[in-house]
Amino acid sequence: MSALHSTICTVRILDPMYKAFFNLTRNPFDLTPDPSCFVSTRRHNEALAALYYGVRWHKGFVVVTGEVGTGKTLLLRCLLRLLKDSKDIAYAYIFNGRLSPTEFLQYILSDFGLPASGKNKSELLLDLGQFLVSRGAKKLTTVLIIDEAHHLSEDILEEIRLLSNLETVDDKLLQIVLVGQPELDDKLDSLGLRQLKQRIALRAQLVPLDAGDTTEYIEKRLQIAGADLHANPIFPAETVAAVYQHSKGLPRLINTICENALIAAYARQLHAVTAEIIADVAREFRLDTCGRDAERTGRSAEIDVHHATNILLDIFSSLRSPGVKESGLDTVVAADRSEHEPHI
């Protein structure tokens, strides 16, 4: 265990003291997706607006995709908070898509408060259909929200498409929100799911933050936690630049780096986090391994090319040796086959 890791493990026990040291009222970089810590970048605002608009105005299918750590689950938590404030909305929230079609339907009905145990698929569909029709007649909104939707099988995605057939002449009875990693886009682009893809009314994509957004993200997170942004900065500009370099703009990694950097700075009794601390934390969490792997791959490729070149030169040299007649292409090919074919 490294010295930094040992220090971090020890100082976590003194969390209240660490917050007091930096004059904070809460942990600014907690990994828990808390809507009160939502930082509204342009992309996140667009995605949240698409989700809420799609649900509120009964658009049917809404899809949001983004890489790991871009804030998809936090975005959904913000949507759920908005929906809870609306008395006319009921939703089922699924975060585990590794289910059979029947289990999937049972989960939905249970989340809507309907009895589902022991019922077969046709019974489940009948009950769900009656539930949606009843709510639709009262002008109520019903939503199916699926996180980690990239894990859904094609069978489940087809079941979801069939559920979207439940509609009136002018309205969708079930609003469906799919949120997942870019693999979800790949699935929806497949030939077998083209009917579902054509029904998507709104799409949004979350991407990593740029350098400017990263600065704003860190400042707003600190502000939410009670930091005085007019005082000497806890994360100076060069430190933020180091955070961006190692996190690649992914909010989850920004949180991880910054939280552990604050703890390390407190352990050293520093009121400002240095770029060196960020580098130490990045090494501790092995955030620089990708670069080293790529470098090793590059060196390995150079060695392989050099080795292959030497083999070819040896072959060419042997073909020009006195024992081999230079009688044109046929002779060269024959010599090459006879000597090296057994090793292929």
pLDDT tens digits, 87-127: 899 999 999 888 899 999 999 999 999 999 889 999 999 99
Q: Give the separation between CA 332 and CA 250, rounded to whole angstroms.
A: 56
Across the range 305-314, mean pLDDT stands at 50
| Separation between Cα atoms, residue 193 and residue 150, nearest integer Å | 13
Confidence of residue 329 (pLDDT cuts 50, 70, 90): very low
Q: Half-sphere exposure of 158 toward its Cβ, with a 13 Å CA cutoff? A: 10
**Among 12-26, 45-59, 230-244, where is mean pLDDT lowest?**
12-26
pLDDT value at 2 more than 70: no
- What's the pTM value of the predicted model, to 2 decimals? 0.77
Give pLDDT, residue 5. 55
Using a pLDDT cut of 90, give the percent of the chain over it.
64
Over residues 178-202, the mean pLDDT reads: 93
Contacts (Cβ under 8 Å, ≥6 apart) of 334: none
Please report the beta strands in the chain, taking only residues with DSSP state E, as ranges in sequence order. Answer: 61-66, 89-94, 141-146, 175-180, 200-206
Per-residue confidence (pLDDT) for residue 342, from 0 to 100 = 40
Query: What pLDDT does residue 310 have?
Result: 54
pLDDT at residue 324 tops 90: no
What average pLDDT is seen over the chain?
A: 83
- Asked which of 15-29, 58-72, 79-93, 129-143 is least confident by mean pLDDT, the reply is 15-29
- Average pLDDT of the residues in 119-140: 94
Q: What angle do CA 248, 214, 52 make, to 5 degrees?
A: 100
Burial (CB count <10 Å: 0-12, 13-18, 19+), residue 245: middle
Q: Which two tokens stand for residue 254?
A: 């920004």
What pLDDT is recorded for position 318?
A: 53
Cα 279 to Cα 255, 256, 257, 262, 271: the distances in Å are: 15, 13, 9, 13, 17
Q: Region 160-183: what's the mean pLDDT?
A: 90
CA distance 51 to 165: 20
* d(C-alpha 300, C-alpha 257), whole Å: 31
At 189, is the secondary structure helix, strand, or coil? coil
- The token duo for 325 is 């007649």
- Predicted pLDDT of residue 180: 95
Would you state the pLDDT for residue 102? 92
The percent of residues above 70 in pLDDT, for the chain, comes to 79
pLDDT band at 306, cuts 50/70/90?
low
Which pLDDT band holds residue 336 (cuts at 50, 70, 90)? very low
Structure tokens at 204: 């949004």
Q: How far apart are the first and last CA of the chain?
A: 47
Token pair 């894990």: residue: 151
pLDDT at 11: 45
- Judge whether residue 229 has pLDDT over 80: yes
The residues, ordered by sequence, that sit 6+ positions from 166 with a Cβ below 8 Å of its Cβ are: 129, 132, 133, 172, 173, 174
Please tell me the predicted confidence (pLDDT) of residue 96.
86
| Averaged pLDDT, 30-54 | 90
* pLDDT band (50, 70, 90) for residue 325: very low
CA–CA separation, 207 vs 214, rounded Å?
12
Judge contact between 161 and 129, C-beta under 8 A. Answer: no
The pLDDT of residue 313: 52
pLDDT value of residue 331:
39
Q: Which residue has the higher pLDDT, 288 or 69?
A: 69
31 pLDDT band, cuts 50/70/90, is confident
Q: What is the pLDDT at residue 283? A: 93
Query: Which tokens go with 4?
Result: 């930094």
Report the interhelical angle of 237-247 vs 251-267 (nearest 10°).
130
